[in-house]
Amino acid sequence: MFGIQTQLFEEKDIRFGPIDHETHPEIESKWTHDAEFMRLMEIKPVRPLSAAMVKKQYEAVEKEMEEEKNLFYFTIRAREDDRLIGKALIEYVDWTNGNGFIRLGIGEPESRGKGCGSQAMNMLLRYAFGELNLFRVTAVVPAYNECAIRLVQKFNFVEEVRRRKALHRDGEFWDILGFGLLNAEWQESGSGAG
Amino acid sequence: MKDLYRGTLVRLSAADPGELGKNYIIWNRDTELMRLFGTGPARMSSKRASVEYYEKELKDQPPSHFYFSIRALDDDRLLGETDLDVVNWASRDAFVGIGIGSREDWGKGYGTDAMHLVLRFAFTELNLRRLTLNVFEYNPRAIRSYEKCGFQIEGRKRSALLKDGKRWDIIYMGILFEDWMEQK
């Protein structure tokens, strides 16, 4: 279980940090050239972005965090040297009803398959439920993203919505799934893998 | 070729910010309606703010957003509004919203007739493949109407709404082009 002393942004191998406008655009630009990764992260058509375009996106993200106050964006860093390996966010927070959408990705190929995603999910859920006090969170996942489905199932998310054939890629029609987790369910399961 | 904008009870017309804004501040007094319309808290809006909202919404309507007024065929009065938001052209997938403003006009088939027109427009003019909508658990009248139009329930976000101290689900409904063709 977590306590008030347990660090919100520190995990075993990773930590959450803010955006670094100097060094991150270059790295994230590289991820956007990885179409397989992008198709796991994005439902809209993907395209490669230059470092300058990523920089602009970061500025938009920070502006939204400042003005709308319904977006919480974290960069995922490797603890050993603080290098950027992914991102994790809670977006479209609906404060009246206590809802939010969560999303995360490990952009650095050599950091995948090592439990970084689970650790990031752990921190993201604890932040959503223990700091923002949301009532529930939603994760939207295309049916072909087996890795993400395994991850949310590990954290006891329930499949709630199946938008039939909502995504057309490579000549196939895929369902888009909505997974939900209630704060109460998260607490019951011993607050995730914590 | 049929008149795409003309149904049996209603027709779709261009959305006019002045007219919609003026009517919205009347509809807006009905908090039951506001709670059927959206997830956010009911709030009061001045005429100016309301007209400005529609102006902003309708100005440079992006090619992915289609907004209509719903009018009665008998006397051409404004009944409500409907919009289509194409969230992904590559997958030809859109979200649809619809509302009949004044409670005297509820339960008379206007919304269902308007939705039939929106579906025809979406599938035969925009060539979309599917439509999605959200409806709240406490709005069975709307759910029945959407089912009549061919929408199927595709899932429910559990306890996603908190109104009057009670938790309610948000229900997702969808219709595919082939569902729509079949019921024709």
Q: Which residue has the higher pLDDT, A100 or A69?
A: A100
Bridge-based pairing of strands B93-100 and A158-169 is unpaired
Query: Distance between alpha carbon A139 and the CA centroid of its chain, in Å?
Result: 9
Among A70, A133, A163, pick the best mutation site for testing chain B contact (most B Cβ within 10 A). A163
pLDDT of residue A6: 87
Residue B77: other Cβ atoms inside 10 A? 10
Residue A160 forms contact with B (CB below 8 Å): yes
The total domain count for chain A is 1
* For residue A194, pLDDT beyond 60: no
Classify residue B8 as exposed, middle or buried by CB count within 10 Å of its CB (0-12, 13-18, 19+): exposed
d(CA A19, CA A25) in angstroms, rounded, equals 9
Yes or no, beta carbons of B130 and A165 under 8 Å apart? yes
Q: Model confidence over A21-62: pLDDT tens digits?
A: 999 999 999 999 999 999 999 999 999 999 999 999 999 999
pLDDT of residue B184: 78
By C-alpha distance, which of A175, A161, A159, A140 is closest to B91? A175
pLDDT of residue B133: 98
Residue A68 forms contact with B (CB below 8 Å): no
Residue B129 forms contact with A (CB below 8 Å): yes
Residue A37: other Cβ atoms inside 10 A? 19
Annotate A119-133 with DSSP letters as a single string. HHHHHHHHIIIIIS-
* For residue A190, pLDDT beyond 90: no
Q: How far is A95 from chain B (nearest CA, A)?
A: 9
Residues facing B153 on adjacent strands: B173
pLDDT of residue B63: 84
Residue A147 counted as domain residue:
yes
pLDDT of residue A4: 84
Set of chain B residues whose Cβ sits within 8 Å of the Cβ of A164:
130, 154, 174, 176
The residue in chain B having the minimum alpha-carbon distance to the alpha carbon of residue A159 is: B155
Residue for token digits 């319904």? A70
Q: How many CA atoms lie within 13 A of B9 on its CB side?
A: 12
Q: Do A179 and A136 form a contact (C-beta atoms < 8 A)? A: no
Q: How far is B98 from chain A (nearest CA, A)?
A: 19
Residue B176 forms contact with A (CB below 8 Å): yes
CATH code reported for the domain at B10-183: 3.40.630.30
For residue A146, give every residue at least 6 positions away whose Cβ sits within 8 Å of its Cβ, in sequence order, or none: none
pLDDT of residue A192: 58
Yes or no, beta carbons of A45 and B88 under 8 Å apart? yes
Q: How far is A8 from chain B (nearest CA, A)?
A: 25
pLDDT by 10s per residue, chain B, length 184: 679 999 999 999 999 999 999 999 999 999 999 999 999 999 899 999 999 999 998 887 778 999 999 999 999 999 999 999 999 999 999 999 999 999 999 999 999 999 999 999 999 999 999 999 999 999 999 999 999 999 999 999 999 999 999 999 999 999 999 999 998 7
Among B154, B163, B164, pick the best mutation site for testing chain A contact (most A Cβ within 10 A). B154
Say how many Å lie between the first and final Cα of chain A, rounded: 6
Set of chain B residues whose Cβ sits within 8 Å of the Cβ of A156:
none
By C-alpha distance, which of A151, A178, A145 is closest to A164? A178
d(CA A19, CA A4) in angstroms, rounded, equals 25
Burial string for B25-40 (b: 16+ CB within 10 Å, else e) reads: bebbeeeebbbbbebe
* For residue A16, pLDDT beyond 90: yes
Yes or no, beta carbons of B174 and A98 under 8 Å apart? no
pLDDT of residue B90: 96
Q: Give me the CATH number covering residue A144.
A: 3.40.630.30
Radius of gyration of chain B (CA): 16
Q: Read off the pLDDT of each residue in A92-100 and give the average, rounded to a whole number.
A: 97
Could you tell me the residue range of the domain that residue A38 belongs to? 14-188
Q: Model confidence over A108-129: pLDDT tens digits?
A: 999 999 999 999 999 999 999 9
Yes or no, beta carbons of A163 and B159 under 8 Å apart? no
Bridge-based pairing of strands B130-136 and B166-176 is antiparallel
Residue B138 forms contact with A (CB below 8 Å): no
Q: How far is A186 from chain B (nearest CA, A)?
A: 14
Look at the pTM and tell me if it is higher than 0.80. Answer: yes
Q: Read off the pLDDT of each residue in A76-94 and give the average, rounded to a whole number.
A: 97
Q: Do A154 and A190 form a contact (C-beta atoms < 8 A)? A: no
Residue A194 forms contact with B (CB below 8 Å): no
Q: Read off the pLDDT of each residue in A96-119 and give the average, rounded to a whole number.
A: 97
d(CA B132, CA B174) in angstroms, rounded, equals 4
Would you kindly state where each structural domain of chain B is located, as residue ranges? 10-183
Residues 140-169 of B with CB under 8 A from A: 154-162, 167
* For residue A156, pLDDT beyond 90: yes
